[in-house]
Amino acid sequence: MGIRTAAIIGGGSFGTVTANILADNNIQAIQWLRNQDIADSINQQHVNEQYLPGIALNPSLKATTAIEEAVVGADVIFVSVPSKSVRDVISGFAHLISPQQALVSTTKGIEPDGFLLMSQVIREVFPDNPVGVLSGPNLAKEIARKELAGTVIASENSDLRRDIQEALSCDYFRVYASNDVYGVELGGALKNIYAIVSGFVAALGMGENTKSMIITRSLAEMSRFADAMGANPLTFLGLSGVGDLVVTCMSPLSRNFRVGYAIGQGKTLDQAIEELGEVAEGVNTLRYVRAKAEDSGIYMPLVMGAYECLFHGADPGMVARGLMTGEHASDVEFALPKHEI
Ligand SMILES: NC(=O)C1=CN([C@@H]2O[C@H](COP(=O)(O)OP(=O)(O)OC[C@H]3O[C@@H](n4cnc5c(N)ncnc54)[C@H](O)[C@@H]3O)[C@@H](O)[C@H]2O)C=CC1
Ligand SMILES: O=C(CO)COP(=O)(O)O
Residue 191 assigned to a binding site: yes
Q: Is 147 annotated as a binding residue?
A: no
> In Å, how far are 89, 179, 213, 298 from 34, measured between CA atoms?
11, 33, 42, 40
Residue 85 C-alpha from the chain's centroid: 14
CA of 328 from ligand 1 middle (Å) equals 38
Digit-by-digit pLDDT tens for the chain (341 residues) are 699 999 999 999 999 999 999 999 999 999 999 999 999 999 999 999 999 999 999 999 999 999 999 999 999 999 999 999 999 999 999 999 999 999 999 999 999 999 999 999 999 999 999 999 999 999 999 999 999 999 999 999 999 999 999 999 999 999 999 999 999 999 999 999 999 999 999 999 999 999 999 999 999 999 999 999 999 999 999 999 999 999 999 999 999 999 999 999 999 999 999 999 998 999 999 999 999 999 999 999 999 999 999 999 999 999 999 999 888 778 888 777 666 65
pTM value > 0.95: yes
Predicted interface score ipTM higher than 0.90 = yes
Closest-CA residue to 96 (of 61, 133, 131, 129)? 129
- Residue 240 Cβ contacting ligand 2 at under 6 Å: no
Listed residue (251, 252, 289, 278) closest to 109, CA to CA:
289
Q: What is the DSSP letter of 34?
A: S
Q: Spell out which residues line ligand 1, taking CB within 6 angstroms.
A: 10-15, 33-34, 51, 80-83, 85, 88-89, 106-109, 138-140, 278-279, 281
Ligand nearest to the CA of 92: 1
Q: How far is the CA of 68 from the centre of ligand 1 (A)?
A: 20
Q: Do 71 and 92 meet the contact criterion of CB atoms below 8 Å apart?
A: no
Q: Is the CB of 256 under 6 A from ligand 2?
A: yes
Is there a binding annotation on residue 140?
yes
